[in-house]
Amino acid sequence: MKKILLVLTLLLTLQFSAVSAQTHLEVNGVTVPRKIEYQNKTLQLNGAGGRSKMWLEVYVQALYLSQLSQDPKFIIDSDTEMAIRIEITSSMVSSNKLTKAMNVGFEKSAGSNLEQLRPRIEQFKTYLSDAITEKDVFVLAYNPLDQTINVFKNEVLKGKVQGFDFKKALFGIWLSDKPVDETLKKHLLGI
């Protein structure tokens, strides 16, 4: 009887472990959901990876799409729901450091469109200006209905930035031909 109970317990444990593995992914110690809900749609995890700066893991990032893809240009040019999820993994990350990193990313991504985007980049950075602590989660979600990037911090909407051109530049920070981190780009694409 004990053997039967042991086998049943083991089988039930394995089933629950399999369910958990299907709903979440572990990346550098961070639990990343495989799906998120946005605008009454389910976005699927396309890929996830960690961002390191000077040998220090600073955040884990995940890319969620309504249509999975390994084509960065298709993703950048797509006018469909999508989101970037960033979980801060280091107490060394501050809002000042994050906004400086965003500046560098936008400069690489926006190219000749940078000056036209500058007022919206400044607006976007104000949504990142609150104190940042380890385990803070940012979701940068694109809504094609009004062509806005919705900035959430710990599930609270901080604000919106208008424009499909802004969306392309924002996602281009990590997916363009000049990404801030080539390895992270490959992870986001699931390569």
Confidence of residue 19 (pLDDT cuts 50, 70, 90): very low
With cut-offs at 50, 70 and 90, classify the pLDDT of residue 94. confident
Q: Where are the beta strands (DSSP E) in the chain?
A: 24-27, 30-33, 35-38, 41-53, 56-65, 82-88, 137-143, 148-153, 156-162
pLDDT digits 0-9 by tens, 72-85:
999 999 999 999 99
* Contact of 76 with 175, CB cutoff 8 Å: yes
Residue 115's alpha-carbon distances to 8, 34, 41, 118, in angstroms, are: 64, 36, 33, 5
Asked if 62 contacts 47 with a C-beta cutoff of 8 angstroms, the reply is yes
Query: What is the mean predicted confidence (pLDDT) over 182-187?
Result: 94
Q: For residue 140, what are the contacts with CB-CB under 8 A and spacing of at least 6?
A: 83, 84, 86, 149, 150, 151, 152, 170
Structure letter (DSSP) for residue 8: H
Say if residues 56 and 47 touch (Cβ distance below 8 Å): no
Instruction: Indicate if the pLDDT at residue 7 is higher than 50.
Output: no
pLDDT of amino acid 18? 41
Q: What's the pTM value of the predicted model, to 2 decimals?
A: 0.84
Tokens describing residue 16: 């629950």
Kindly report the number of other CB atoms within 10 A of residue 158's CB atom. 16
The per-residue pLDDT for 4 is 55
Q: What percent of the chain has pLDDT over 70?
A: 85
41 vs 22, 83, 88, CA distance in Å? 19, 12, 25
Strands 148-153 and 137-143: antiparallel
The one-letter code for the residue type at 88 is I
The length of the chain in residues reads 191
Res 9: pLDDT = 47
